[in-house]
Amino acid sequence: PNDALVVFTPSGKRGRFALGTPILTAARQLGVDLDSVCGGRGICSKCQITPGQGEFPKHGVTVSPDALSPFNKVEERYDSIRGLKAGRRLGCQATVQGDVVVDVPPESQVHKQVVRKRAEARDIILAPSIKRVLVQVEQPDMHDPTGDFERLSAALATQWNIEGITAPLPVLARLQSVLRKGDWTVTCIIHDPATGSGPRLAEIYPAFDERPLYGLAIDLGSTTIAGHLCNLETGEVVASAGLMNPQIRFGEDLMSRVSYSMMNEGGAGEMTKAVREGMAQLCTDIAEETEVDLTQIMDAVVVCNPVMHHLFLGIDPYELGQAPFALTTSDALNLRATDLDLPLHPNAALYMLPCIAGHVGADAAAVALSEAPEKSEELVLVVDVGTNAEILLGNTQRVLACSSPTGPAFEGAQISAGQRAAPGAIERVEIDPTTKEPRFKIIGCDLWSTDDGFEEAALATGVTGICGSGIIEIVAEMRMAGIVDAPGLIGAPEQTGTERCFLDGRTYSYLLYDATPLGGQKITVTNRDIREIQMAKAALYSGARLLMDKFEVDSVDRIVLAGAFGAHISPKHAMVLGMIPDCPLDRVTSAGNAAGTGARIALLNTEARREIEATVKAIHKVETAIEPRFQEHFVNASNIPNAVEAFPHLN
């Protein structure tokens, strides 16, 4: 016969092809995911495949040793210069000579799957908005007077199906010299956002250019700015960095920043300048750390809350400070990084996820993208714990969202011994219910405070205070040990049976640790601290409960705690406190920084951008401020764990 069977693994796709057909061509015709950047010219090596040998009973094929053509000149040259791994062939050069089974290794797949650590999380399929293609452009001809750009555009359409490319002026200005330098073969870096405008020529290099392409996923928080630098062709996170948001000097929380802009002429402008400087610093830091040239960063995705969103864009957040909390724009934005003073490639793109509502921002959208409640058969409650808690509740039927003003207590602010999570901060606490004696762990030390050698080990950092997760644990432990009652009062020594409780003004406090021998302070929990935590957790709970009312349910199937802080909360303690509704404890999981993960997904997969834009439109927003039941839930939720709701899973 003059044709043969070609079976691709792992896809299992198969077809008969004329002898002499290149494997890349066969793959294209069958829709097999086999990469190519040079269009089959034997330059890029992205098309590598491994032909099988011998019998393949599963596929009903016996492969003879000469099922593929021998190495041709192009492959020989490639192999001698760059070296092909044993058994590998270039799919664009090897042609079909007989029945063959061809394996496409993961690195040769265009839509590679990017590894995520958590099993329950969605997979990230690599399909970024930036791609590299090699094109051969027709030379100009006296008889056919078209422009160089028009011929490049035609070549992109015929060789890569990229239609309607546009080019910014600085690229056009270099076009002629690059085309001639590359002898009419050029590498185009194409930016093709899934939404908004069509493809754009972001950069052009002579001949085949392999310098890596990077993108930045940034979670712009009110307290910290965190970024991940990703290789856009492998999906790998090559570096991560974070810094404090320099806007902090205008106010710790968002509302104080909004009021700063209201009270000070030009205040919003100052804050815009500060946050952009912070963002630029993050870009520089991360590039320096990895020795990546900033101009190799071609794309960025930013997620943030609505106030940060407006301030970063240079929009006065005034309207966000008052009902009805109207956003200037809630849609996703396709911008240029240079518009926001980011020192990336001059044509780098910047995508901002859509905001859900005036109080529920692009960070919540990113959490939704990462956790995909709309794809969950089970009813899932996703809580992003921060100064403002963003809460999502949903399943495949519908998704509701709200935000709840928890305040900064969970971050250690307004707590007498509270502090940010840093070495020396108490993060884990246990109290013996009989003796009422505590033991704890601090960040930066593996020992419990009751272990031998703790004090020597703790000397390096000291025991400096209690961080957010520590505060949640200690209040819950105090409740379980009977030191605090359900309404939130710390008992007297005679009631609690421990001298650690002492009269401190008009109420009692609990002495957790006396750090004075280590040169520190006494670390106590006051009744005011308990109050602060009660308020914060009641706000969080009421938001969640309100969404459950709207969903007409009394329980949820699972709970996801998101946010850098959420990752450290112990589910049991959060439930003892009544921070989250009752749920089987093993169904409470932590998603880590889900907003950051959502940003990374949007960076690596443009389809996900389209998806989240549609999801956000379908999310039903609930405004806690105007819901009468919110107050009612709040009052009940001030008790520990709750005045009216049952927590059967705590028994």
Closer residue to ligand FES (CB): 187 or 642: 187
Q: Which CB atom, from 83 or from 324, has the smaller least distance to ligand FES?
A: 83
Q: CB 541 → ligand FES: shortest distance, Å?
A: 56
Q: Does 92 bind ligand FES (CB under 6 A)?
A: yes
Alpha carbon distance 618, 109 (integer Å): 33
Closest distance of CB 561 from ligand FES, Å: 45
| Omega before 346 within 30 of 0, i.e. cis | no
Q: Which of 567, 596, 187 is nearest to 383 (CA)?
A: 567
Q: Which two tokens stand for residue 12?
A: 């299992």
Q: Exposed, middle or buried: residue 631 (CB in 10 Å: 0-12, 13-18, 19+)?
A: exposed
Q: Please, what is the Cα angle at 445 between 439 and 449, to 5 degrees? A: 20
Min dist CB 298 to ligand FES, Å, is: 21
Name which of 46 and 537 has its Cβ closer to ligand FES: 46
CB of 94 to ligand FES, least distance (A): 9
45 binding ligand FES? (CB under 6 A): yes
- Is residue 42 close enough to count as binding ligand FES by CB under 6 A? yes
**Residue 90 contacts ligand FES per CB under 6 A:** yes
Give me 512's structure tokens: 């957790």
State which residue, 48 or 570, has the beta carbon closest to ligand FES. Answer: 48
Measured on CA atoms in the order 450, 453, 455, 457, is the torsion positive or negative? negative
Q: How many helices, marked H, and strands, marked E, lie in the chain?
A: 16, 30
Paired residues of 131 in beta bridges: 190
| HEC readout, 324-337 | CCCCCCCCCEEEEH
With contacts defined by CB under 6 A, how many residues of the chain interact with ligand FES?
A: 15
Angstrom distance (rounded) from CA 124 to CA 450: 44
CA 204 from chain centre, in angstroms, equals 30
Return the amino acid letter for 642: N
CB neighbours (10 Å) of residue 197?
12
With respect to ligand FES, which residue has the nearer C-beta, 88 or 309? 88
CB of 20 to ligand FES, least distance (A): 16
| Per CB under 6 A, 188 contacts ligand FES | no
Question: On the CB side of 511, how many CA atoms lie within 13 Å of its CA?
Answer: 14
Distance from C-alpha of 421 to C-alpha of 124, rounded to nearest angstrom = 30
- Which tokens go with 345? 């490639």
| Minimum CB–partner distance for residue 219 and ligand FES (Å) | 36
Residue 24 or 442: the one with the smaller Cβ distance to ligand FES is 24
Binding piece for ligand FES, criterion CB under 6 A, among 90-98, 160-168, 331-339, 630-638? 90-98
The contact mask relative to ligand FES for 367-386 (x = CB under 6 A, - = no) is --------------------
> Using CB under 6 A, which of 43, 155, 194, 426 touches ligand FES?
43
214 φ/ψ angles, rounded to the nearest 5 degrees:
-120, 160
Decide: is 47 part of the binding site for ligand FES (CB under 6 A): yes
**Quick one: which segment of 43-51, 290-298, 596-604, 638-646 binds ligand FES (CB under 6 A)?**
43-51
Q: Which of 92, 69, 101, 81 is CA-nearest to residue 23?
A: 92
Site for ligand FES contains 108 (CB under 6 A): no
Binding of ligand FES by 232 (CB under 6 A): no
Q: Nearer to ligand FES by C-beta: 36 or 590?
A: 36
What does the alpha-carbon distance between residue 192 and residue 183 come to, in Å, rounded to a whole number?
Answer: 26
Query: Is 129 a residue that touches ligand FES (CB under 6 A)?
Result: no
Nearer to ligand FES, 40 or 373 (CB): 40
Using CB under 6 A as the binding rule, whether residue 46 contacts ligand FES is answered as yes
The CB-of-317 to ligand FES minimum distance in angstroms stands at 49
Candidates 9, 36, 231, 296; binder of ligand FES (CB under 6 A) is 36
Amino acid residing at 265: E
Closest of 531, 551, 533, 552 to residue 541, by C-alpha? 533
Of 134 and 445, which CB lies nearer to ligand FES in the complex structure?
Answer: 134
Determine if 475 is a binding residue for ligand FES (CB under 6 A).
no
CB of 291 to ligand FES, least distance (A): 27
Of 329, 328, 345, give the one whose Cα is nearest residue 337: 345
44 binds ligand FES (CB under 6 A): yes
79 is written with which tokens?
A: 């192999």
Joined tokens for residue 353: 């996820």
- Whole-angstrom distance, CA of residue 342 vs CA of residue 51: 46
CA–CA gap between residue 299 and residue 387 (Å, rounded): 29
Rounded to a whole number of angstroms, the minimum distance from the CB of residue 108 to ligand FES is 9
Instruction: Output the smallest distance, CB 38 to ligand FES, in A.
Output: 4
Smallest gap, in angstroms, from Cβ of residue 43 to ligand FES? 5
Q: Report the residue closest to ligand FES, judged by CB.
A: 92
364 residue type, one letter:
A
27 versus 539: smaller Cβ distance to ligand FES: 27
For residue 74, the minimal CB distance to ligand FES (Å) is 8
- Among residues 123, 46, 609, the alpha carbon closest in space to that of 351 is found at 609
Provide, rounded to whole angstroms, the least separation between the CB of residue 47 and ligand FES. 3
Q: Binding segment for ligand FES among 36-44, 192-200, 356-364, 486-494 (CB under 6 A)? A: 36-44
| Residues forming the site for ligand FES (CB under 6 A) | 24, 36-38, 40-47, 90-92
